[in-house]
Amino acid sequence: MLNGNQPKSTWKANLGDIIPLHLAQEIDEFETQMELRRQGKVDEKVFAEMRLRRGAYGQRYDNGRRHDGEKSQDIPFPNVELTKGPDTKWEAPGMQRIKIPYGGLNGEQMDVLADIAEEYSDSILHITTRQDIQLHFISLDDTPDMHRRLAAVDITTREACGNSVRNVTACPLAGICRDEAFDVTGYANETAHYFLGHRDVQDFGRKFKVAFSGCAQHPCGLTSMHDLGLIAKTRVVNGVEQKGFEMYVGGGLGAVPHLAKLFDEFVPAEELLPLSQAIARIYARYGEKRNRNKARIKFLVSKLGLEEFRRLVLEERQTLENDPDWTNWIEHIESYNEAALPEPAFGEPIELGEAFEQWQSTNVYRQRQAGFVAVTLALPLGDITSLQMRRLADITRRFTGDTARTTVEQNILLRWIHEADLPALYQALREINLHASGAQSIVDVTACPGTDTCKLGIASSRGLGGELCERLANKNLQYNEAVRDIRIKISGCFNSCSQHTVAEIGFFGSSRNINGFRVPHFQVILGGEWDNNAAHYGQTFGAVPSKRVPEVVDHLLTLYMEERQNGEKFREYIARRGKKAIKAEIDRFTSVPSYNEDHSYYADWADAREFTIGDIGVGECAGEVVSLTDFGIALAEGLQFEAQVAIEKTTDQTSVDNAARLALEAMVSAAQALIKVENIDVSNDPAVIVDEFKTRFYDTELFFDPYAKGKFAHYLFNAYEHRDKPKTLDIALRLIEEAGLFIEASHACNERLQAAQLIAPVNPFTELLSRKVTAVSA
């Protein structure tokens, strides 16, 4: 009998015998650090990194301020002086990221995930684009118990965030794929566990992401966009087949995407961990530490050059003392093999009609093992409720060998389903409303959290994603052979968390000032390649108002369906039509009605607040000056576009040089436009512009992004400093990307100036500095 007089039971006591000792100790230590932080005995910056390494992230508004559509208001959190990081209130809700190596889950784990989502979060589990699970609106005080409950089912949140090895991802079809060289599951999991808490991965300047793929041609592993990418390969030596990996390094999306470079054509399985360890050590030793914007390994590989990077790694490899953990798991690798239930769970045919047939056509994958299929559950925007997750755990037990996998497309995959069980499985999924068709199709839109919960979000990626899902599904485009395989991915900012760069149609959030009002926009990215492990990145085609994005998508799809030739893919169609022609099509959707005409354009999707009420009331006097600046930035956008066009068709040295020159000119032009806010007579001499920009906007920090700080200004400074150095295609592409981001930052800076209402006639710089309003960007 339960009663209130009993000593209070705790999860720590209840799970003490179940949680592995080392995990229990780590969680206890974190709880101790929390207490020390409460007592002010741990620095807030140090605590923030500790917290992040436990996967406990900050969330939007955790600085204690929120714009309510009319003004920015303080949120009166209790204990407001207590922080969990710089400018991060302890009591503010946060996000918990939970690492799921290779996306592998079993029913027991799904049950616990459902329980903690219910008790500590808002009953929603969000699958991320790196196979993690995220919970939102979490109180930091709840995290130790939450971690204990996860640890009890062999899930750790350790190093889910922070500057360490993040979740190790893998193709969710591993082991059942028709095209893989071999099953990478065990290799991914052993790599994840080898590096978890390893001493050599504790001193990185930034995060380090690892991905495994079973083949080169499919996108599932996305190895080209990872810090370390591994593609399964076999070779025959002296008549014996060897397993190994094609190893890539230095890939990454983020603001400036880099395709990974081939480090080694064949790394034997026995060398996977030692060589990876050597790479980690070289990254930790030589990677950038002070400037986090240059700290990913992609920058180190670019800086050193691949040959020198490889030499250093191989040299380091020779110095490593043998570690039995490098290989002692290989003899047990077969233990990762999954199996189906011995017999179908039900098997009797059921008449389910057209909806079942359609679902089969989009959500079912025939395994290489005859008679078995894998089924993708298309989760809307990656979300599933706790109740659905608990029922899904039961379904997983009933129909599979108790395994499921999360996917990088924010879905869940059930594998090893007896084909005869498909009707019964469909019925079971229908009972919990997880039977949506269109998995991995055009209606299965991917979106990062964006302005819903992310501190960096500029525009509502999920709001737009939800809108597009509904509209496209209403048109049944998931069954249209011509367009069904087009992927749409939406990020709330330039940081590519939705992986928009590798989608056929991608968007990232931005904003524009229209007659003194801020209007949510999305940059359009077209021509990325999802296949071949994300082998090509898309390019920007300019920004369109958020509310017009559905029109843009409709128009592009209509054009493609009407004009495509010989079955060409969307990416090929975009390339054939050419950037100028496609941009002209998109430019038809850039206009915004006046505020009085239709103010819905001035709010974001699924958000009733005006996007920026702070811009209302900018004086007419300011308007003229601002228009000049806007005009200058628009010219810069044109130059950046010309730079893209320069290397669209040919990539000879002349074209490359031309593109690089135009990209630099675009940045200089945007800088000049900003300078005109104060000095309308600014020189046209680039040297003077760069110098004056540095004095007026960099040294004063007026140009600083609230989170990226001076990162974008350095793009200009570096490009100008190295303007006479020889250019490669890679450099030109990077300069073009950087120019695009510099221009975005110029828009944002211009808007901050206007938000502070400090455009002429007063001197904005003196006034702005005196009022210290550099962070007016909400």
Residues that bind another protein (CB under 8 A): 1-4, 8-11, 14, 60-61, 66, 68-70, 73, 75-78, 91, 93, 111, 114-115, 118-119, 122-124, 136-137, 139, 380-381, 383-385, 387-388, 390, 432-434, 436, 452, 462-463, 465-466, 469-470, 606-609
For another protein, the closer CB: 554 or 607: 607
DSSP state of 684: S
- The distance of closest approach from Cβ of residue 385 to another protein in the complex, given in angstroms and rounded to an integer, is 5
Other C-beta atoms lying within 10 Å of the C-beta of residue 482 = 15
Which residue do the tokens 């059921």 mark?
350
For another protein, the closer CB: 340 or 428: 428
- The distance of closest approach from Cβ of residue 178 to another protein in the complex, given in angstroms and rounded to an integer, is 31
- The distance of closest approach from Cβ of residue 399 to another protein in the complex, given in angstroms and rounded to an integer, is 18
- The distance of closest approach from Cβ of residue 433 to another protein in the complex, given in angstroms and rounded to an integer, is 4
For another protein, the closer CB: 207 or 435: 435
Name 78's Cβ contacts closer than 8 Å, sequence gap at least 6.
Answer: 91
For another protein, the closer CB: 268 or 550: 550
Residues 590, 674: Cα–Cα separation, whole Å: 22
Q: Is 166 exposed, middle or buried (0-12, 13-18, 19+ CB in 10 A)?
A: buried
For another protein, the closer CB: 110 or 633: 110
Other C-beta atoms lying within 10 Å of the C-beta of residue 186 = 23
Distances (CA, A) of 655 to 302, 650, 659, 661, 748: 21, 7, 6, 10, 31
Residues 637/542, Cβ–Cβ less than 8 Å: yes
Name 57's Cβ contacts closer than 8 Å, sequence gap at least 6.
Answer: 94, 95, 96, 97, 161
- The distance of closest approach from Cβ of residue 570 to another protein in the complex, given in angstroms and rounded to an integer, is 25
Kind and range of the H or E element at 134?
strand 133-138
Which residue do the tokens 């069954």 mark?
479
For another protein, the closer CB: 370 or 608: 608
* Three-state secondary structure string covering 642-682: HHHHHCCCCCCHHHHHHHHHHHHHHHHHHHHHHHCCCCCCC
For another protein, the closer CB: 397 or 418: 397
Q: Is 43 exposed, middle or buried (0-12, 13-18, 19+ CB in 10 A)?
A: exposed
Residues 742/667, Cβ–Cβ less than 8 Å: yes
Phi then psi for residue 430, to 5 deg, are -65, -35
- The distance of closest approach from Cβ of residue 181 to another protein in the complex, given in angstroms and rounded to an integer, is 37
Kind and range of the H or E element at 261?
strand 261-268
- The distance of closest approach from Cβ of residue 144 to another protein in the complex, given in angstroms and rounded to an integer, is 14
Residues 623, 247: Cα–Cα separation, whole Å: 54
Which residue do the tokens 């920090």 mark?
701
Other C-beta atoms lying within 10 Å of the C-beta of residue 558 = 11
For another protein, the closer CB: 375 or 432: 432
For another protein, the closer CB: 80 or 333: 80
Length of the chain: 778
For another protein, the closer CB: 429 or 753: 429
- The distance of closest approach from Cβ of residue 500 to another protein in the complex, given in angstroms and rounded to an integer, is 19
- The distance of closest approach from Cβ of residue 77 to another protein in the complex, given in angstroms and rounded to an integer, is 7
Alpha carbon dihedral 582, 587, 588, 589, in 10-degree steps, equals 110
Name 412's Cβ contacts closer than 8 Å, sequence gap at least 6.
Answer: 105, 127, 376, 377, 379, 384, 392, 404, 405, 406
- The distance of closest approach from Cβ of residue 468 to another protein in the complex, given in angstroms and rounded to an integer, is 11
For another protein, the closer CB: 134 or 672: 134
Name 470's Cβ contacts closer than 8 Å, sequence gap at least 6.
Answer: none
For another protein, the closer CB: 384 or 586: 384
- The distance of closest approach from Cβ of residue 751 to another protein in the complex, given in angstroms and rounded to an integer, is 22
* Bridge partners, 510 (sequence order): 521
- The distance of closest approach from Cβ of residue 137 to another protein in the complex, given in angstroms and rounded to an integer, is 6
- The distance of closest approach from Cβ of residue 609 to another protein in the complex, given in angstroms and rounded to an integer, is 6
Angle at 278 between CA 273 and CA 281, to 5 degrees: 125
For another protein, the closer CB: 436 or 743: 436
